[in-house]
Amino acid sequence: MLTYDHIDSNKRKTAVLIGVFLVLIIGLGFTFSQAYNEPTILFFAVGFSTLMSLISYFFSDKITLALSRANLVDRQTHPELYRLVENLSIAAGLPAPKIYLIEDTALNAFATGRNPQNAVMVFTTGIVSKLNKTELEGVVAHELSHIGNYDIRLMTIVVVLVGVITLLADWFLRFSFLGRRRSRGGAVFLLVGLALALLSPLIAMLLQLAVSRKREFLADASGVLLTRYPEGLASALEKISADREPLEAANKATAHLYIANPFHKDAGPSTSLGATATSQGSRGWFSSLFNTHPPVAERIQRLREMHTNG
């Protein structure tokens, strides 16, 4: 199910992604330090970005679980769910992840952690109660694919770093309007800094969305190789997309982690979650840039083509 090339690629992309965020943050700090002739601004940006990069690597999973209000469950309270996850983990050659539940009737799930040894799998109570066994197996296999391919490390780190970029950009924008005395030639740096402060959150968000979309198709296909039953995941995605209830615990920072868009804006059965018309091409490529997930209809179609071809 797993490809070493993809795992190595994800590890490289993790390093590149952290580097891009560091460059954005340091660029913000440098331009504003030059604008106000305050080297401490740059030192703060470098120190803060380095600290948050380390935190995002080692603690992003715990931060994500806290943001999602997920609670650890044990084998005694959910024996069937534990058996299902453990059996598929053995088949995938992976350590069985810890299982967390979000008390919400919306249908969704995600995996997080910096590597397979520290992975956790999170389900809403709604998805556990409303999917049948084969559908739930498809969801678990999909999330195990994210774990084995190290997608979880890359996608979870993005949660923290996007938040850091947005926070720093907001700080610098507020700082620029405090009326502090600028250095000679500082007006040019201030304009550059303002542009960076405005564009950095957008760049960070687009990186976040691109990271998620490209990996969903691969996780779907890898999950099917594990269960040998494409219809299970296809049927699960149909039920998830038909559920119009938004997930209250989700937020913009964590939305890309879930198996499907947790907000369900304008979503209907077998359509793109968050951008229904995109799957029909009416909004074009620009609209698709802002989707957290690829169109559900396209994912289901690919899965059912696998079933037909098999």
Q: Residue with structure tokens 């899965």?
A: 303
Taking the C-alpha atoms of residue 278 and residue 30, their distance in angstroms, rounded to an integer, is: 39
Which tokens hold the place of 18? Answer: 């952290």
- C-alpha–C-alpha distance, residues 155 and 297, integer Å: 23
Q: How many CB atoms lie within 10 A of CB 224?
A: 25
pLDDT tens column, 119-145: 999 999 999 999 999 999 999 999 999
Per the CB < 8 A criterion, the answer to whether 105 and 124 are in contact is yes
Q: pTM for the full model?
A: 0.75
* 246-295 per-position pLDDT tens digit: 888 887 777 778 898 888 654 444 333 333 333 344 444 444 555 667 88
Q: What is the pLDDT of residues 266-279, one digit of tens each?
A: 444 433 333 333 33
Residue 66 has φ and ψ, to the nearest 5°, of -65, -45
* 278 φ/ψ angles, rounded to the nearest 5 degrees: -60, -40
Q: Which residues contact 68 (CB under 8 A, 6 or more apart)?
A: 102, 122, 249, 250, 254
Contact (CB, 8 A) for 125 and 101: yes
What range does the domain containing 42 cover?
Answer: 4-309
Q: What is the pLDDT of residue 48?
A: 78
pLDDT(304) > 50: yes
Cβ contacts of 56 within 8 Å, gap of 6 or more: 18, 156, 157, 159, 160, 161, 164
Query: Does the pLDDT at position 3 exceed 60?
Result: no
DSSP string covering 222-276, please? HHHHHHS-HHHHHHHHHHHHH-----TT--TTTGGGSSS-SS-TT--TTS-TT-G
Domains in the chain: how many in total?
Answer: 1
Contact 127, 78 (CB under 8 A): no
Active site residues: 143
pLDDT digit string, tens, across residues 58-94: 887 888 899 899 999 989 999 999 999 999 999 999 9
Please list, in sequence order, all residues whose beta carbon lies within 8 angstroms of the beta carbon of residue 158, skipping any fewer than 6 positions away. Answer: 17, 207, 208, 211, 256
Contact 243, 234 (CB under 8 A): no
- In angstroms, the CA 246 to CA 225 distance is 30
Instruction: Read off the amino acid at residue 182.
Output: R
> What's the chain's Rg over C-alpha atoms?
21
